[in-house]
Amino acid sequence: MKAKDSIPDPSKLEDRGKRELAKILKDVKRNHSDWNFDRATEIINEVRKEKSDLMEESQAQMMWRSYRILEMIGVRDQYGEQAWRDLKSKMAEKGWTKNYRRFNYYVFKALAKVIGTTWPDIDPPEKPDERELQKSMLDTDTIRRAIRRREMLKDERKHGEREVFCLALSTIYGVRQVEIRRMQPEHIDRENHLLRIYTAKGNPRKWHIIPEPVRDAIEDFSIEAHLPRTRQGFYYIFHRIFDPVSEEVRNSTDYNKPGPGPYGFHSVRRRLLTRLGMLKDEDGERQFEKQEIIRFMRWTEPSESMYGTYFNPPEEWKKEDQLALDRKIFKHHPLLDAWRD
């Protein structure tokens, strides 16, 4: 796959890693004619092979992130200390957060390793302090306004149903951006109205019920045709949904300055979690146990002594238990009723 003219059609490749490699090489051919094409191919292909033991989405993310680093600092023979200083400077120019700089440090380190660079003794960027980790959270009224104008979203854009699909996943399940990116057509069981979500951090894959008010938004959407696969793509989708209903969100981003702004799909996830945790029953007690919310939001469940270590029921039991929890949650879900309007 070294010659520019021999790049295979990505859609005909079954292996996800090879498919992403072909997509990247087509992008290189289209946008970087001045690069050493063979060297770029060699670098990305080495990342693909080195990360073949990861989940498909994680492998693809490492390949694309490595490619974006090449776009920032160029194709080189070595990626050592000088290359890192150049990348740090570029990330500072883009105004990236400390967390995102740390993430790219580890991607860069992996990139250097796979192409044989002896890694110098360089510390990762500092962690953000607690104050910087106080993340943004959308208010409930803003989210409800976005849901109410879902039909306008469809009319405003050629693929407006994509924005409505993402809005449904975000407001009903509190999905993370990466969980939307991992969606594949086979993850929607339209016959039984079920949705499978591959969690962001390798936790068990969860089946969720698709409640009736959002079935059209989720089940009628063509994932394969219209869902983007890049972080930036979802960043723009989020703003197309929420810019029209929130001046704060609209003014939070400088579109002339690349990089994520303070708001994103996690801003909806945080609000949903907070509302679920604050719900009270008729006796004034919490509607849901903390553990139930943890499971619904797809976090790793903390073990209780050795119980959590030894308890390992069959997959079908886990699935039915999860669906029973969904039915309980959806009776009191704080945003589901907005989809009935």
Domains plus CATH for the chain?
4-114 (no CATH), 140-340 (1.10.443)
Determine the 3-state secondary structure of 97 from DSSP.
Answer: coil
Long-range contacts, stretch 244-252, CB < 8 angstroms, 24+ apart: 244/146, 244/149, 244/152, 245/142, 245/145, 245/146, 245/149, 246/138, 246/142, 246/145, 249/138, 249/142, 252/136
pLDDT mean over 312-318 = 74
- For residue 100, the model assigns a pLDDT of 80
- Average confidence (pLDDT) over 254-268: 67
- For residue 1, the model assigns a pLDDT of 45
Look-up: residue for tokens 């292996």? 15
Secondary element (H or E) of residue 283: none
| Residues 180/166, Cβ–Cβ less than 8 Å | yes
Task: Please tell me the predicted confidence (pLDDT) of residue 129.
Answer: 64
Residue 254, pLDDT > 60, answer no
198 and 188 Cβ atoms separated by less than 8 Å: no
Cα-trace Rg, the chain = 22
Instruction: State the average pLDDT for the chain.
Output: 85
Tokens of 204: 């068990």
pTM: 0.69
Percent of the chain with pLDDT over 70: 87
Q: With a cut of 60, say whether residue 202 has pLDDT above it.
A: no
Write down the pLDDT at residue 150: 94
**pLDDT tens-digit profile of 171-194?**
999 999 888 888 888 899 999 999
pLDDT above 70: residue 301: no
Q: From CA 132, how far away is CA 10, in angstroms rounded?
A: 40
Q: Rounded to an integer, what distance in angstroms lies between the CA atom of residue 90 and that of residue 264?
A: 23
The predicted pLDDT at position 155 comes to 84
- Which residues have CB under 8 Å from 142's CB, separation 6+? 242, 245, 246, 249
| pLDDT score of 258 | 43
The pairing of beta strand 206-209 with beta strand 194-197:
antiparallel
